[in-house]
A and B are shown apart, each in its own frame.
Chain A
Amino acid sequence: DVVLTQTPPTLSATIGQSVSISCRSSQSLLHSNGNTYLHWLLQRPGQSPQLLIYLVSRLESGVPNRFSGSGSGTDFTLKISGVEAEDLGVYYCVQGTHAPNTFGAGTKLELK
Chain B
Amino acid sequence: EVQLVESGGGLVQPGRSLKLSCAASGFTFSNYYMAWVRQAPKKGLEWVATISTSGSRTYYPDSVKGRFTISRDNAKSSLYLQMNSLKSEDTATYYCARGVGMGWGQGVMVTVSS
Contact = CB atoms under 8 A, between A and B. Distances in A.
B100 to A, nearest CB: 3
Query: Interface size class for chain A?
Result: 20 to 34
Most buried by B among A50, A51, A101, A102: A101
Interface in B1-59: 35, 44-47, 50, 59
Given A100-B59, A100-B61, A101-B35, A49 B47 contact: no
A92 B44 contact: yes
A37 B95 contact: no
Interface string B77-114: 00000000000000000010001111111110000000
A90 B45 CA distance: 11
A99 B100 contact: no
A94 interface: yes
Contacts of B45: 41, 43, 49, 92, 94, 103, 106
Contacts of B106: 48
A37 B100 contact: yes
A54 B102 contact: yes
Given A95-B100, A96-B99, A99-B59, A48 B107 contact: yes
A80 interface: no
A24 interface: no
5 contacts: A48-B95, A49-B95, A51-B104, A99-B59, A101-B47
Given A95-B100, A100-B60, A101-B100, 16 more contacts: A39-B102, A48-B95, A48-B107, A49-B101, A51-B101, A54-B102, A92-B45, A96-B100, A96-B101, A101-B35, A101-B47, A102-B47, A103-B46, A103-B47, A106-B44, A106-B45
